[in-house]
Amino acid sequence: MNFPLIKVLKNGLLVELDYMHPQEQEVVRALLNVVIVEGKTYPQKQPLSPAEFSAYWLSKDAFVVKTSVENTTHKPKEMLGAFYLKPNFPGRCSHICNAGFIVQPGLRGQGIGRFMGEAMLLIAANLGYEAVMFNLVFETNIPSITLWQSLGFEIIGRIPRAAKLRDEQVVDALIMYRALG
């Protein structure tokens, strides 16, 4: 695949998706920590240190979505979202991958997640993965569930009372799966 991947979002913004570069790691860690503190979609309770972020997010492939240079003649590219892609299981089951996604809070609903999801499916297949599995999609995360189902994912399981959200609400988590190819 040739990177960066370029797309015009539904709001007209030109964006690019590329592998994460070392100088972008701290910006992505800060965004992930914002999402963790929101307490609605990720299992972690506390912000991640650089070492914890590296072990969790950077164990295999990581990608970012930024404003494209054509948009930003007078300012640096803005980080809009990011995702990781890695084997969900070791060894004989490593052909099934897992991915995690984050989008800047003020930019959700603009098509960034869809762009990342569509790109992830292409990238995963290109890297030789045969399926994608999400282990913990909280049942209250309706935008994600709707997005993944629209991209062909099926709910293959439910984990009762899997998550205690920041507001102390206890919710089930869904396991979602999609074969590639």
Render pLDDT for 100-144 as a digit per residue (tens, 0 to 9).
999 999 999 999 999 999 999 999 999 999 999 999 999 999 999
Sheet with strand 79-87: strands edge to edge: 5-8, 14-19, 61-67, 79-87, 96-103, 131-138, 170-179, 154-164
Q: With contact defined as beta carbons under 8 Å apart, do 24 and 64 qualify? A: yes
Digit-coded pLDDT (tens) for 53-109: 999 999 999 999 999 875 545 567 899 999 999 999 999 999 999 999 999 999 999
Tokens representing residue 146 in the block: 């709707």
Q: State both tokens at 84.
A: 């990781």
pLDDT at site 33:
98
pLDDT for the residue numbered 181: 84
Percent of the chain with pLDDT over 90: 91
End-to-end Cα, the chain, rounded Å: 16
Q: Does residue 4 carry a pLDDT above 80?
A: yes
**Res. 30 pLDDT band, cuts 50 70 90:** very high
Instruction: Count how many residues are written for the chain.
Output: 181
Q: What is the DSSP letter of 36?
A: H
